[in-house]
Chain A
Amino acid sequence: MTTSSFPIGPVRTVAGSAVALSGDDIDTDRIIPARFLKCVTFEGLGEQVFADDRIERAGTHPFDRPEHRGAQILLVNRNFGCGSSREHAPQALMRWGIRAVVGESFAEIFFGNCLALGLPCLQASHAQILALQTLAETHPATAFRLDVDAARLHSDAGQSWPLELGPGPSQMLRSGQWDATGQLVAHDQELRDTAARLPYLSMFATA
């Protein structure tokens, strides 16, 4: 578990080793089982990430292997984070130490939850992900640098892979505006104008 703090402001690069987690459709119940949602803060979730999978694999789960301790980049396959909308899932990953996720594809609510925490999720092709997962497993000490601006992943051996990130999320991460609350609240007049044209807000009181 890392002690590094959560991101504040622009998220332009993430540097560190990588941990691979193979499999499609890994749902948020597996990332953080529902019994750990009985809490009023997110503290302590890092220890419980993938709790049931880790018990089942008795120390051989990638998140338990000493060579992956301190990893900052998570490598996953298709539809990662499907199912429940629980933000406890990215919170648990981040509290374990993950600072970026690279995968074939992401479930939509999960992607949005990650973005709202400044946790970049970038996509790569099936073949590239398999190659990256193999590299992280066979050479776990490999140091990577993820460049959000250029959407590229670089290794310390000089290799480089193109990634995909939509222009909106990319801009939000690079500018530090991934935390939207301030912008949303600032549009006070626009919010009033929108409310005024929605007849249901006045219970259809006027024609």
Chain B
Amino acid sequence: MSAGTLYDKVWELHQVAELPGGSTQLFIGLHLIHEVTSPQAFAALRDLGLTVRHPERTVATVDHIVPTTSQARPFADPLAEEMLATLERNCAEQGIRLHGLGSGRQGIVHVIAPELGLTQPGMTVACGDSHTSTHGAFGAIAFGIGTSQVRDVLASQSLSMNKLKVRRIWVDGELQNGVYAKDLVLHIIRNLGVKGGVGFAYEFAGPAIDGLSMEERMTLCNMAIEGGARCGYVNPDATTFAYLQGRPCAPAGAAWERAVAWWSGLSSGADAVFDDEVRFDAALISPTITWGITPGQGIGVDEAVPTPEQLDADERPIAEEAYRYMDLLPGMPIAGLPVDVCFIGSCTNGRLSDLRAAAAVARGRQVASGVRAFVVPGSEQVARAAEAEGLDQLFRAAGFEWREPGCSMCLAMNPDRLEGREISASSSNRNFKGRQGSASGRTLLMSPAMVAAAAVSGHVADVRELLAAPAPHASCLDSEALLSATCPP
């Protein structure tokens, strides 16, 4: 049994009662809602004759179904329009803040809550979305829930939960140039498996984690769920506090000092006991990419698709299924595989630092002929910040489309989707069969910089080689006046 970890401390603070079945009633400090998993929960609440207990601790936005080209209302898709209209009505009725389209604060729920300073250390955070684990980057205990549980949180600001075990994932060393938090988490899942984390919370710690920015920590915790861990977290530190200070919903003035003192006492102590511990060395990780149909089927960009003989016996059936679905042969190198679509965005990798990393590769280069490439900022704030730096111009000049914020082709609930057997290089989080909107569409997960490398190469490419080589037309970008149209194609 773990003891003295951040997870244990936050759990104890939020315990409301023991329930008859033996589970714990856990108080939820921040409840995030969106248009896909909340309508049935509000309907159930009404059926029970209940109202929202803490509307001030409930925050809504719209992200999954929004188009990224025209966001004019009503949406062209009547089902999407009905979902947003329902959310608007429910929020208005219950007095819940809704960060809607054009508010300046709309975006993917896991992007906006951190950037508004809503997500803070020591909180419990729940949302009807499995990537709620993202908020663990702040030292919060954050997890995805289903719609019945959304109803429970609306009604009682609490949940019936069972405590998880805690596995510390200790990462030594430092990520090499061209290797990002996305590569780190794909590497971890490759090694621990997509079910390795079932029953665990993942604590990410060690020198490599200490060196990550908040946005990198969000990428890491975001994909804990892909490793089977319902939540992942990083202990709060000076990096966390520096990120939060001055954000609209963060404490200020004397309250800020009290907050930092409280947050600082929550970290796992030197004497903390973990149920399990594993170690990695960041310096040994290459840019990592998935070749198959689960996020655990990852390899270094310099490696080949594994052969059945290289895999454990119980991993072979799903590998066989993946060879067929992806139309890849065991033993073939992954580098050089042609791609049709390149998607930069999502709650995993749709933040400003992600766009900057992709832009550094796209700068002065051109999207390869026949490749459809687009950038979907994670939020309106990310979009405006990127535009202020000229990243939109840079991407457009390189042949990428620059879109409005939303979940977009991560799960293709809006018009952005793969067609037929198209293959995408994607900075999102899931490569499941059919995930990107075509029942036979194929997804290669990788970092945003690797997606940009694939876009300008027309095939899977090692971003380290592009970063080392001077961009062919980089000089064009030295002058702002030449940013867009005048660079040679």
Interface size on B, residues (CB 8 A): 83
Residue B412 CB within 8 A of the other chain? yes
Q: Are B20 and A194 in contact (CB under 8 A)?
A: no
Residue B488 CB within 8 A of the other chain? no
| Interface stretch of the complex, out of B105-113, B191-199, B208-216, B367-375 | B191-199
Which residues from B are CB-within-8-Å of A198? Answer: 13-14, 27, 29
Q: Are B146 and A194 in contact (CB under 8 A)?
A: no
A198–B143 Cα distance when bound, in Å, is: 19
Residue A34 CB within 8 A of the other chain? yes
Query: Nearest 7 A-B pairs (CB), nearest first?
Result: A113-B146, A87-B146, A116-B148, A184-B156, A85-B144, A172-B21, A40-B39
In A176-203, the 8 Å CB interface with B consists of 177, 179-181, 183-185, 187, 190-191, 193-195, 197-201, 203
Q: Are A112 and B146 in contact (CB under 8 A)?
A: yes
In A143-172, the 8 Å CB interface with B consists of 166-169, 171-172
Residue A82 CB within 8 A of the other chain? yes
Among B122, B146, B147, B262, residue most surrounded by chain A Cβ atoms (within 10 Å)? B146
A37–B225 Cα distance when bound, in Å, is: 20
Residue B337 CB within 8 A of the other chain? no
A105-B195, A198-B29, A204-B262 known; A29+B435 contact, CB < 8 A? yes
Q: Are A86 and B412 in contact (CB under 8 A)?
A: no
Task: Kindly provide the distance from the CB of A87 to the nearest chain B CB, expressed in whole angstroms.
Answer: 4
Which residues from B are CB-within-8-Å of A24? Answer: 195, 314, 317-318
Among B64, B199, B433, residue most surrounded by chain A Cβ atoms (within 10 Å)? B433
Which residues from A are CB-within-8-Å of B64? Answer: 37
* Closest A residue, CB atoms, query B77: A38
Which residues from A are CB-within-8-Å of B17? Answer: 187, 190
Task: Kindly provide the distance from the CB of B422 to the nearest chain A CB, expressed in whole angstroms.
Answer: 15
* Closest B residue, CB atoms, query A27: B432
A40-B40, A180-B152 known; A87+B147 contact, CB < 8 A? yes
A166–B53 Cα distance when bound, in Å, is: 31
Task: Kindly provide the distance from the CB of B117 to the nearest chain A CB, expressed in whole angstroms.
Answer: 11
Q: Are B412 and A34 in contact (CB under 8 A)?
A: yes
* Closest A residue, CB atoms, query B435: A29
A181–B228 Cα distance when bound, in Å, is: 26
A84–B64 Cα distance when bound, in Å, is: 13
Residue B439 CB within 8 A of the other chain? yes
Residue A30 CB within 8 A of the other chain? yes
Residue A95 CB within 8 A of the other chain? no
Q: Are A33 and B156 in contact (CB under 8 A)?
A: no
Which residues from A are CB-within-8-Å of B48? Answer: 181
Residue A25 CB within 8 A of the other chain? yes
Q: Are B129 and A25 in contact (CB under 8 A)?
A: no
- In the complex, which of the residues A84, A177, A199 contacts B21, with contact meaning CB atoms closer than 8 Å? A177
Residue A52 CB within 8 A of the other chain? yes
A35–B409 Cα distance when bound, in Å, is: 12
Q: Are A191 and B228 in contact (CB under 8 A)?
A: no
Task: Kindly provide the distance from the CB of B245 to the nearest chain A CB, expressed in whole angstroms.
Answer: 13
Residue B162 CB within 8 A of the other chain? yes
Which residues from B are CB-within-8-Å of A41? Answer: 39-40, 43
Q: Are B27 and A191 in contact (CB under 8 A)?
A: yes
A38-B80, A42-B40 known; A191+B158 contact, CB < 8 A? yes
A29-B430, A108-B230, A180-B152 known; A85+B37 contact, CB < 8 A? yes
A187–B15 Cα distance when bound, in Å, is: 12
Which residues from A are CB-within-8-Å of B434? Answer: 29-30, 33, 52
In B297-333, the 8 Å CB interface with A consists of 314, 317-318, 321
- In the complex, which of the residues A37, A52, A171 contacts B22, with contact meaning CB atoms closer than 8 Å? A171
- In the complex, which of the residues B19, B146, B255, B314 contacts A85, with contact meaning CB atoms closer than 8 Å? B146
- In the complex, which of the residues B20, B36, B65, B147 contacts A183, with contact meaning CB atoms closer than 8 Å? B20
Among A78, A105, A200, residue most surrounded by chain B Cβ atoms (within 10 Å)? A200
Q: Are B145 and A183 in contact (CB under 8 A)?
A: no
Residue B139 CB within 8 A of the other chain? no
Task: Kindly provide the distance from the CB of A89 to the nearest chain B CB, expressed in whole angstroms.
Answer: 9
Residue B277 CB within 8 A of the other chain? no
A23-B318, A40-B39 known; A55+B148 contact, CB < 8 A? no
Q: Are A181 and B151 in contact (CB under 8 A)?
A: yes
Q: Are A25 and B16 in contact (CB under 8 A)?
A: no
Which residues from A are CB-within-8-Å of B120? Answer: 200
Which residues from B are CB-within-8-Å of A127? Answer: none
Q: Are A117 and B148 in contact (CB under 8 A)?
A: yes
A180–B44 Cα distance when bound, in Å, is: 13
Q: Are A79 and B149 in contact (CB under 8 A)?
A: no
Which residues from A are CB-within-8-Å of B15? Answer: 194
Q: Are B432 and A83 in contact (CB under 8 A)?
A: yes
Chain B 428-469: CB-based contact to A (< 8 A → 1; otherwise 0): 001011110101100000000000000000000000000000
8 A–B contacts from the bound complex (CB under 8 Å)? A38-B413, A82-B194, A83-B130, A169-B21, A175-B21, A181-B156, A185-B155, A187-B16
A40-B39, A113-B148, A203-B255 known; A191+B157 contact, CB < 8 A? yes
A168–B440 Cα distance when bound, in Å, is: 40
Task: Kindly provide the distance from the CB of B291 to the nearest chain A CB, expressed in whole angstroms.
Answer: 15
Among B120, B157, B318, B434, residue most surrounded by chain A Cβ atoms (within 10 Å)? B434
- In the complex, which of the residues B16, B40, B149 contacts A191, with contact meaning CB atoms closer than 8 Å? B16
Which residues from B are CB-within-8-Å of A207? Answer: 258
Task: Kindly provide the distance from the CB of B186 to the nearest chain A CB, expressed in whole angstroms.
Answer: 16
A15–B29 Cα distance when bound, in Å, is: 41
Which residues from A are CB-within-8-Å of B388? Answer: none
Residue A21 CB within 8 A of the other chain? no
Among A23, A42, A108, A187, residue most surrounded by chain B Cβ atoms (within 10 Å)? A108
Residue A141 CB within 8 A of the other chain? no
Which residues from A are CB-within-8-Å of B94? Answer: none
Residue B25 CB within 8 A of the other chain? yes
In B128-154, the 8 Å CB interface with A consists of 128-130, 132, 143-149, 151-152
